[in-house]
Amino acid sequence: MEKDATGVQGPGGGDAGGDPIISVRGLDFFYGPLQVLSDISLEIPRNLVTALIGPSGCGKSTLLRCFNRMNDFNGDARLARGSIRVGGVDINGPDVDPIELRRRVGMVFQKSNPFPKSIYENVAYGLRIGGVRRKSALDEAVERSLRNAALWDEVKDRLGDSALALSGGQQQRMCIARAIAVEPDIILMDEPCSGLDPQATMRIEELIQELKEQFTIVIVTHNMQQASRCSDLTAFLHLGRLVEFAETMRIFTNPSEKRTEDYITGRFG
Amino acid sequence: MRLHLEEEIRRIKENLLMMASLTDRSLSQAIRALVGRDDQLAAQVEADDTQLDSLQVAIDEGVVMFIAKQRPVATDLRLVMVALKIAGDLERVGDQAVSIARAAIQLNREVPLEMPADMSRLATISVEMVREAIACFVEGTPERVPALVQRDKEADAINRKLFSELIARMEADPSIIRRAVHLLLVVRRLERVADHAKSIAEEVYYLGKAVDIRHAHPKPTLPRGDVSAETPPAG
């Protein structure tokens, strides 16, 4: 593990470090009495795709959910030690509004979760919550978001149709459009392709590559090929600890840690 | 799934070791056929070459299937990439052995020409380099590679010396030109064998340390004192 003098692990082995948008230091996290994250320190740079990998129960989804305080919805969840800064701000500080945080740090879930509304209303939802009322502004944002999510051409003539009528892959891209409509800085993706066929998966992966021009993306995936195809940096977690964080190319060709090698080559996990 | 992966890796390694063993035998037999003026042995070398070709094809196919089915990463990925290249080098060593055997058959039709003393030294170095390169692969000892790479320089120097010596002999006695040219070609083949051994060794280094030293200048050097110490590549 490459750590600086303060114990923070940056992506080792290259110059991809840059300016961190997420900075985690000494994070201990619990669900009730169970410690699920131990002494996690890492810095995630802007405008790159960072993959969190590791066996089931290693804490990768918990870590992802720490970045926009989604764990707040779990009454047993408790940050016992350490800090998470997004854009330099301690997101667990007393003055931080979690709703505003989640606008800046959007999330796409494993299972697409369209609201039982029209495609248009799904994408415009966050903007309306944020107080945007002018129709032209909403129209413009919906079109821009759907274009960015590579869905516009497929739905532009049926924006009033129910989002539930879309295919699984389209629903997931619509959820991405909904996430980016409010112009977040970061998009968190928790296994966004797990229920999709190879074609739909490929479209989401291509989309991720396009979106990183504008957003920082952190993705949790069980799919090693997906992590190697679409991420710039990869963090490997095991038993709640960060084992290795480095450029994806390095992780998948010459990892520094034996545990990483054993996991990515299928020798355990 | 992992059991299948291990089994496929084992099969690729097994074919590679079989190929290395046959290559070693062909090369040694070709040199013996040349020195002992043994046509039968030389013909055997040529006949055995098809086995090497078949093994190379089997390794290539095994690697393609392995990549398609297992999507290897890290050490597994380096291993199959290196297996492909080593198989290519071994096949070329086999071809050099066949060329030496054919030269032996040609020379056996002529009056014997005294071989330069250094030819046997070059042959020994070339054979030993191939064996050492394969040993490094089998034993997983990339730290021995720098010494082997260094040895190729010795082979190059002997090659240059033999070239000058044989040219001088041809100039002094043009009646030996035909036979001396055959010897020159054998010298060239032996030097190429050393090059392939060096290439195999460089692949072994990459396999073990994930560092490509093929075009590194200077090459990794021998550690002083402790020969088992890890040697970071320079340059």
Q: Mean pLDDT across the stretch A183-207? A: 92
Residue B216 lies in a domain: no
Q: Would you mind telling me the total number of residues written for chain A in this entry?
A: 269
pLDDT tier for residue A267 given thresholds of 50, 70 and 90: confident
Largest CA distance in chain B: 68
- Spell out which residues of chain A touch residue B82, defining contact as CB-CB under 8 Å: none
Look at B74 and A261 and tell me if their CB atoms are within 8 Å. yes
In a domain, B221, yes or no: no
Question: Is B235 a domain residue?
Answer: no
Contact A265 B72 (CB under 8 A): yes
Between helix B2-36 and helix B117-139 the angle, nearest 10°, is 170
Write out the two tokens for B95. 């071809």
Cβ of A253 and B72 within 8 Å?
no
**Is A205 in contact with A191 (CB distance < 8 Å)?**
no
Answer yes or no: is B147 within a domain. yes
pLDDT digits (tens, 9 = 90+) for A150-175: 999 999 999 999 999 999 999 999 99
Q: Which residue has the higher pLDDT, A15 or B88?
A: B88
What is the predicted pLDDT for the residue at A268? 78
CA distance B141 to chain A (A): 17
Taking 80 as the threshold, does the pLDDT of residue A16 lie above it? no
The phi and psi torsions of A22 (rounded to 5 degrees) equal -120, 130
pLDDT at A4: 57
Nearest chain A residue (CA) to B209: A254
CATH number at residue B202: 1.20.58.220
Provide the sign of the torsion angle of the four alpha carbons A51, A55, A57, A58, taken in this order. Answer: negative
The answer to whether position B112 is within a domain reads yes
pLDDT in tens, A201-257: 998 999 999 999 999 999 999 999 999 999 999 999 999 999 999 999 999 999 999
* Angstroms from B232 CA to nearest CA on chain A: 15
Three-state DSSP state, B219: coil
Structural domain including B76 reads 2-209
**What pLDDT is attached to residue A32?**
95
- Mutation for testing the A interface, residue in B71, B75, B80, B207 having most A CBs under 10 Å: B75
Predicted confidence at residue A53, as pLDDT, reads 97
Q: Flag whether pLDDT at A9 surpasses 90.
A: no
Residues in A closer than 8 angstroms to B1, CB to CB, are 266
CB–CB contact A225 B71 (8 Å):
yes
* Per-residue model confidence as pLDDT tens digits over A129-144: 989 999 999 999 999 9
Q: For residue A195, what pLDDT band results from cuts at 50, 70 and 90?
A: confident
Mean pLDDT per 10-residue segment, chain B (235 residues): 81 95 97 96 96 96 91 93 97 98 96 94 97 95 94 96 97 96 97 98 95 80 46 35
**CB contact (8 A) between residue B74 and residue A252:** yes
Ordered DSSP codes for chain A: --B-TTSPBP-BSSS---SEEEEEEEEEEEETTEEEEEEEEEEEETTSEEEEE-STTSSHHHHHHHTTTGGGGSTTEEEEEEEEEETTEETTSTT--HHHHHHHEEEE-SS----SSBHHHHHHHHHHHTT---HHHHHHHHHHHHHHTT-HHHHTT-TTSBGGGS-HHHHHHHHHHHHHHT--SEEEEESTTTTS-HHHHHHHHHHHHHHTTTSEEEEE-S-HHHHHHH-SEEEEEETTEEEEEEEHHHHHH--SSHHHHHHHTTS--
Q: Is residue B131 part of a domain?
A: yes
CA separation for the pair B122, B129 (Å, rounded): 10
In a domain, B220, yes or no: no
B-chain residues near A55 (CB < 8 A): none
B201 within some domain: yes
Q: Which pTM was predicted?
A: 0.81
CB B182 within 8 A of CB B189: no
DSSP designation for B143: G
Percentage of the residues of chain A whose pLDDT score is greater than 70: 94
How many separate domains does chain B show?
1
